[in-house]
Every structure is written in C-alpha cells, then in structure tokens.
Amino acid sequence: MTHPNPLLDDASVVQRLLDHIDKGTTDVGDETWREPVANYRSEQRLAAELGVIRGVPVPFCPSAALEKPGSWIAREAAGTPLLVVRGDDGAVRAFRNACRHRGTRLADGSGCDRAFTCRYHGWVYGLDGRLRHVPHEYGFPGLEKETHGLVPVACEEASGIVFVTQRPPGSPAVALDALPPLLGETHRLVDTREFEIAANWKILVEGFLEGYHIRSTHPRTFYPLQYDNLNVVERFGRNNRIAFPYQSIERQRDVAPEHRTADGTLTYLNHLFPNAIVATFPGRVLLAVLEPRGLEHTHQRTWAFVDRAAENAGAHDFLDRGRDLVEAGTTEDREVAEAIQHGLASEANTHFVYGHFEAAIVHFHQELRAAIGA
C-alpha cells in the first residue's frame, strides 16, 4: 500500500535551492539530537536494529535484476538467507532460502532456472515455492507436499524496486511510505557491485544524509561541482529526500519556473528507511543496500543504472565521467566511515551530536528509536 507523494515537485525544489543560494542559507531542522556512542557498540542494540530491518519493507534488489520468468537472486538480508524469484506469471515472490527436508541452502548468487533442486537429497521446488518432487518418495510415508513448500515471506514491487518484509504474506502490512518515482523504463541496469566496509551500518547511512561535509570530505570530487552545506531536506513517512544542487543550477534562472528540471541540476538522495539509498546523478542512478554484518562491518550492494536517453544519444564519455566521479566520491565516504568506526575505540565521545544542518540524520535516529520501542 502506498500513500500520495508529499514531496515537492522539481520546479519547487529548484526554486527553493535558488533562494538559498541568493540568501546564503540552507534548510535547517527544528531540533538537534544526541545519539549515545554505546548504540554503535552494543550487541543488544544491534539485535534490536536487525529486528527492525526484518520487520519493515526493505529493498532487496531492483525489479530489473529479475528481468524474466525464472530469474532469481539469493542473498542474506539482515542475517536471513532469502531467495527471491520471478515466476512464470510475472509476479515476484520471496522465500526463506532453506530446503524443507534438512534445511540446506537451495541457491547462491543469482541465475535463471525453471526449478530449484536441493543439492543434498534432490528435493525439487517450483518457481512458486511448491514442493514438486521427492526422490524415492515412498520413504516418507504421510509426507504432505502442499505443506512442505518453501517458506514464503512478504514481497512487493514499487517504484522499480523489489521490497521484502520478513513476515508471512498476509500478515499486517507495513505501508511503503509515499514513494516518489525511483527506477523505471528510462533507466537500464548496467552494473552490480559489492563492498565489505569496516564500519557500523548506521555510520554509513548517516554519511549520505547531509551536505555539511561536502567541502571538507570531497574537495576534488563533488565540491568543485556542488555547494557546501546547501540542501533541501524533505521527509516522506520514515524516509528522507535530500537535494544536493550542482552549480549548473544557475542556468535554471533563465528557464520559466514551470519548465525547470532536476535533470543535470541536482542529485536527489532518497533514504528508504532503514538501510537503503537511491541516489540520482546526471545520467546515472544508484540503488545501495547496507546490510549489517556485525557491529563493525557492513556489506554494501550497489546496483547502477544509466539513463537510456543519454546512452542512446551516444553520450558514453559523459556517462563514463559521471561513473568515475561517483566512484571516487563514494570511496571517500567509505574511508571516512571507517575512520569514524576506528575512532569509536578511543572513547573520546559518549554521544554524537547532530545539529540543525543534519536534520535527516535526526529524523533517521528518531524513527529507528521509535521502531525499536514499538
């Protein structure tokens, strides 16, 4: 279930950014936040956070990664092995990735198949999760195949993304909060990458959610093209959207307000609570999912898309330069996150203080605390 999109349209965001440029201002939050450093170092707190991630709709992969019937992806999500597959009917379904005989993991990685066969004893499951075949079935008298299919979990597609909630299908739904258009037919999936990062998952999320660091962290990558500490920050449900303008936004002053566009003018950073990011760049969109792998380690999966119009126009040099810029800038962010993680051991801080320029981080921690409390 989705709600009407409460976000500003592109023309309104551009005007708000131009106003900030003229006034030397930026969006600011109404409150500050003190987050205990202990919450980055506590196994009990991490267990509670994993419970939140399992209990809400979280991006598992882009719809484009499951392009045709039989396409599947198997990976861990919040520590749970899951298998997501597109069926013959075009629907995407998610299952716990374990054989119903002796619990063997059925699949690893990704592929395209007509069925899943357990490598241990050869039990076969269809794309719909039903148990299709048991070798030497007479050895299992009374086995009810209809109750021994793969165990499903809730799954839905929205805005070009497959969301999985680790609850049984049909259980009380957690709404997908007013998603804006994110991925669609105008984009083509071109790359998938994985990173092991020596930092707590929340530190990585926080690094996406403010522009206060642009000048000092990215002096030769993002800053020459963007602005320092100049953003529009919006909320949609538990989620955030931050607009990072490029200096090319100045060209929008000569465009009639109703025709102003975000394309090539700004980056939208969509934080999909709790642990996923969709970021738009000129000619490029990234979907990143940050999977906690312990207090000090995060596994990041990133899917990259290019704009079909730019690709079809032969703008390959432009797309390559954009890719290189994004890779350099995000590498800097990962390095800072690992430096923060290393600094936790110094015990210099009992709390991290998030100020008015970090309103999206404040919202993230408010929502996370509320979800843990619930």
CATH number for domain 10-55+180-373, candidates 3.30.1330.60, 3.40.50.300, 3.90.380.10, 3.40.50.620: 3.90.380.10
% of the chain surpassing 70 pLDDT: 98
Quickly list DSSP for 199-261. Answer: S-HHHHHHHHS-STTHHHH-TTTTTTTB-SS--EEEEETTEEEEEEEBGGGGGGGGS-GGG--
Q: Judge whether residue 49 has pLDDT over 50.
A: yes
CA distances from 190 to 66, 69, 103 (A): 13, 20, 34
pLDDT tens string 322-343: 999 999 999 999 999 999 999 9
Say what the pLDDT of residue 2 is.
Answer: 44
> Going by C-beta distance under 8 Å and a sequence separation of 6 or more, which residues neighbour residue 35?
351, 352, 354, 365
Asked whether the beta carbons of 233 and 252 are under 8 A apart, the reply is: no
pLDDT tens string 281-321: 999 999 999 999 999 999 999 999 999 888 888 888 988 99
Shortest CA distance to 322 belongs to which of 263, 261, 242?
263
The two most distant CA atoms of the chain are separated, in Å, by 79
The Cα 102–Cα 30 span in angstroms is: 54
Name the residue ranges covered by the structural domains of the chain: 10-55+180-373, 58-165
% of the chain surpassing 90 pLDDT: 90
Computed on alpha carbons and rounded to an integer, the radius of gyration of the chain in Å comes to 22
Q: Judge whether residue 165 has pLDDT over 80.
A: yes
> pTM to 2 decimals?
0.95
Q: Is the domain defined by 58-165 classed in CATH 2.102.10.10?
A: yes
Say what the pLDDT of residue 374 is.
Answer: 74
